[in-house]
């Protein structure tokens, strides 16, 4: 408010909005969309995304399987365990949260261990059922109970609008996850560097 920034809520931003309003420059910071899980049963109603869980948009059952053991998946598993859910964290790679900075990762892994989160690495999902998930590790196949399945299998930039506006001749800059998925520091640095050139 002090800088005279106009904040416009409840506005569905589409190409028409930019045709009706004149802007010298448009900065797209529309973030990223979760990558869809390509497994049988992934379209069932009890399969949700990590962002939806963290934003409190879904009701989570007592037994939870989190698919994807990167930073987002591990943090989500820890969040659910704090709220007394029985959590299994599944990761295809050999390590949990390798993209987390060193010191926070150490505390996160310790917290997951203390909260009895079952961490399964080198493990893939073969099928999601109504009350369970079928997992495969090597030649072994497991079926574990799951009231809720949380997908944290990565994200991809949501920058469709940027491309459409650029084609119409608008001066467009893309920052943050809309440009390339990364950490908060990446996004704020890009934002600073973008506006410092004005």
pLDDT tens, position by position, 100-116? 889 999 999 999 999 99
Residue 185 binned pLDDT confidence (cut-offs 50, 70, 90) = confident
Looking at the DSSP bridge assignments, the partners of residue 192 are none
Q: How confident is the model at residue 14 (pLDDT cuts 50, 70, 90)?
A: confident
Judged on CB neighbours under 10 Å (0-12, 13-18, 19+), 137 is middle
Q: From residue 2, how far is each of 5, 104, 192 by CA, in Å? A: 8, 35, 19
Could you tell me if 110 and 82 are in contact, meaning their C-beta atoms sit under 8 angstroms apart? no
Percent of the chain past pLDDT 70, that is, above it, reads 100
Rounded to whole angstroms, how far apart are CA atoms 40 and 21? 45
CA 49 to chain centre: 7
Exposure of 115 by Cβ count < 10 A (0-12 exposed, 13-18 middle, 19+ buried)? middle
Given the structure tokens 């948009």, which residue do they identify? Answer: 57
The dihedral built from the CA positions of residue 12, 18, 23 and 25, taken in this order, carries a sign that is: positive
For residues 75 and 48, give the distance between their C-alpha atoms in angstroms, rounded to a whole number: 15
Q: What is the pLDDT of residue 84?
A: 97
Cα dist from 29 to 18, 26, 111, whole Å? 15, 10, 32
Q: What is the pLDDT of residue 183?
A: 79
pLDDT digits (tens, 9 = 90+) for 44-76: 999 999 999 999 999 999 999 999 999 999 999
């Amino acid at each position: 408010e002090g800088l005279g920034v106009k904040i416009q809520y409840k506005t569905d931003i589409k190409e028409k909005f930019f045709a009706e309003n004149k802007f010298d420059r448009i900065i797209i910071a529309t973030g990223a969309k979760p990558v869809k899980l390509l497994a049988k049963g992934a379209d069932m109603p009890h399969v949700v995304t990590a962002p939806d869980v963290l934003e409190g948009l879904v009701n989570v059952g007592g037994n939870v399987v989190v698919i994807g053991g990167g930073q987002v998946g591990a943090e989500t598993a820890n969040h659910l365990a704090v709220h007394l859910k029985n959590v299994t964290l599944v990761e295809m790679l050999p390590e949990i949260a390798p993209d987390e900075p060193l010191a926070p990762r150490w505390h996160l892994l310790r917290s997951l261990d203390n909260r009895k989160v079952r961490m399964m690495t080198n493990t893939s999902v073969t099928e999601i059922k109504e009350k369970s998930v079928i997992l495969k590790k090597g030649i072994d196949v497991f079926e574990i109970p799951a009231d809720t399945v949380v997908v944290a299998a990565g994200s991809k930039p949501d920058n469709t609008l940027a491309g459409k506006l650029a084609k119409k001749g608008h001066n467009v800059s893309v920052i943050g996850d809309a440009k390339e998925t990364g950490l908060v520091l990446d996004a704020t640095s890009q934002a600073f560097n973008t506006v410092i050139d004005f």
